[in-house]
Structure formats: C-alpha cells, structure tokens
C-alpha cells in the first residue's frame, strides 16, 4: 500500500528509472581503444572473442593483409556452396575493428540455407551470376530480391536469411559484416544436426509431422 510517507520515495524511484540511460537493445562490437590491436590467437580463446593484442613490436604489414578470399573455401557438398571467411579467427588484423567479410561461391542451384548472424548486419554484393536473396523479420514478413553482378542487398542484424543461385552457371558473392566475428547459426543444422540431438518429440511437435519424417531429415545432415 502506498502511504503518504512512502509516496516521495516512490516518485524518486520512478524518476531515477526514467533518467537512467537504458542499455542499448542491440550492442555492436565495442569501439577500439587503440590504433592497433592485432589479435594474439595463441592466447587461449576468450569466451567473448575479445582477443588480447599482440605486442606492438611484433606487428608487421602482413598482419593487415589477407589473401584467404582469393580462392574458394571449404565446400558444403550438400548445399553446393563454399564459404571463405575473413574474420578475426582467420585474419587477426581485424581484431577490435568491428568488420569482417566472406567470399561465397555457389555451384549451380547452390544455397546458403536459412541462417542468422547474432552479432552483425550483413551487406552482400554479387560479383558473378544471379542470386535470390532474402530475409524474414520477427513479424514473419519476407523481403527478397534477385541480384546480378554489382547489385547489393542488406540483411539486418540477427534476421534469418538465405542466398540461392538461380542462374544458369556458378555464382559468386562477397558479404561483409559489422563485427570482427559475426557468428552464424544455420537453421537446419541447429535443428537437425545439434550435439547432442534435439529430442525427436520436440521436432515432431514443432513441425506437426511424424518421427519418420524427422528421422529422414536428420539422416541427410549426418555429414
Ligand atoms: C551469407 O549470407 C554469409 O553469411 O556469408
Ligand atoms: Mn549470412
């Protein structure tokens, strides 16, 4: 019960709550606090991927150079795509800069299946071929475009998106992120290839199908 003696205290509490700066609903990679902080990857991987800086006396021009996007990365056969990732783990010079990029090569009809990046928005430019790309909002609205060379599409942070090669031949896209390690959660792998497995009855109830269908889908993600 609010008594006349507790009323001033209540007013004070409410004003403090409104005056306190609200924590940002989305926080990005923190701003760098120094010119150079090349990641020392030999230090044990910190849980938050804030790598320590290697000693400035050991930094060379090579730390700011990366040729990992000159060639296709590991191909995921089942999806027909290969991703070469230029992030802090492969390119330590990106540490603390809040940026990274991928080269994504598509076989004909190859797909980057629905996935999301918990720590970054993504902007992608098609270099070659024809790609259908799109994302879905938290209100289940779908936005998409078919892109050809030179065209760009942006994916807001955290939203589920995909890219599908809809051209005749191969396709190539470069994607860039506002995080030195955007992370990637791939929906079908999350659901059907997690370790340990998500129990079947969770998936049968989720997709309103029988266990045979879940087992069948699961079997396709045993690489
Ligand atoms: C494409 O969506 C990528 O994450 O590189
Ligand atoms: Mn992506």
Question: How far is the C-alpha of 54 from the C-alpha of 92, rounded, in Å?
Answer: 10
**170 known member of a binding site:** no
How many angstroms is it from 175 CA to the middle of ligand 1?
6
How many angstroms is it from 19 CA to the middle of ligand 2?
37
Mean pLDDT for the stretch of residues 204-222 = 95
- The most distant pair of C-alpha atoms in the chain lies apart, rounded to whole Å, by 77
Q: What is the pTM of this model?
A: 0.85
**117 known member of a binding site:** yes
Cα–chain center distance at 87: 11
Nearest CA, atom 4, ligand 1: 175
**How long a stretch of residues is the chain?**
223
**201 known member of a binding site:** no
**26 known member of a binding site:** no
Question: Of all atoms in ligand 1, which is nearest to the CA of residue 155?
Answer: 2
Is the pLDDT confidence value at 27 over 90? no
How many angstroms is it from 201 CA to the middle of ligand 2?
29
Question: Of all atoms in ligand 1, which is nearest to the CA of residue 162?
Answer: 2
How many angstroms is it from 63 CA to the middle of ligand 1?
24
Output the average pLDDT for the chain.
Answer: 88
Q: By the 8 A CB rule, do 104 and 112 touch?
A: yes
What proportion of the chain, given as a percentage, has pLDDT over 70? 86
Question: How far is the C-alpha of 103 from the C-alpha of 31, rounded, in Å?
Answer: 25
Nearest CA, atom 1, ligand 1: 175
What class does CATH assign to 7-184? Answer: mainly beta
Q: For 108-142, what is each residue's pLDDT tens digit?
A: 999 999 999 999 999 999 999 999 999 999 999 99
Q: Where are the domains of the chain?
A: 7-184, 193-223
Which residues have any ligand 1 atom within 6 Å of their CB?
A: 83, 102, 104, 112, 122, 163, 175, 184
The ligand with the least distance to the CA atom of 100 is: 1
Q: For 159-209, what is each residue's pLDDT tens digit?
A: 999 999 999 999 999 999 999 999 999 999 999 999 999 999 999 999 999
Q: How would DSSP label each residue in 187-206?
A: HHHHHHS-SSPPPHHHHHHH
């Amino acid at each position: 019960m609010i008594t006349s003696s507790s009323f001033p205290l209540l007013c004070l509490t409410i004003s403090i709550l409104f005056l306190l700066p609200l924590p940002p609903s989305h926080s990005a990679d923190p701003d760098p606090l120094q010119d150079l902080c090349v990641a020392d990857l030999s230090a044990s991987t910190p849980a938050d991927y804030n790598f320590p800086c290697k000693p400035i006396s050991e930094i060379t021009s090579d730390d700011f150079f990366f040729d990992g996007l000159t060639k296709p990365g590991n191909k995921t056969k089942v999806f027909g795509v290969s991703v070469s990732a230029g992030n802090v783990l492969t390119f330590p010079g990106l540490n603390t800069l809040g940026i990274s990029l991928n080269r994504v090569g598509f076989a004909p009809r190859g797909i980057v299946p629905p996935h999301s990046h918990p720590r970054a928005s993504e902007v992608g430019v098609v270099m070659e071929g024809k790609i259908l790309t799109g994302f879905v909002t938290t209100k289940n609205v779908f936005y998409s475009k078919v892109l050809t060379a030179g065209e760009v599409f942006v994916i807001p942070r955290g939203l589920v998106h995909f890219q599908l090669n809809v051209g005749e031949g191969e396709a190539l896209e470069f994607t860039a992120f506002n995080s030195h390690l955007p992370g990637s959660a791939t929906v079908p792998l999350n659901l059907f290839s997690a370790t340990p497995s998500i129990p079947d009855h969770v998936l049968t109830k989720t997709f309103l199908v029988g266990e045979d269908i879940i087992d069948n889908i699961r079997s396709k993600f045993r690489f």
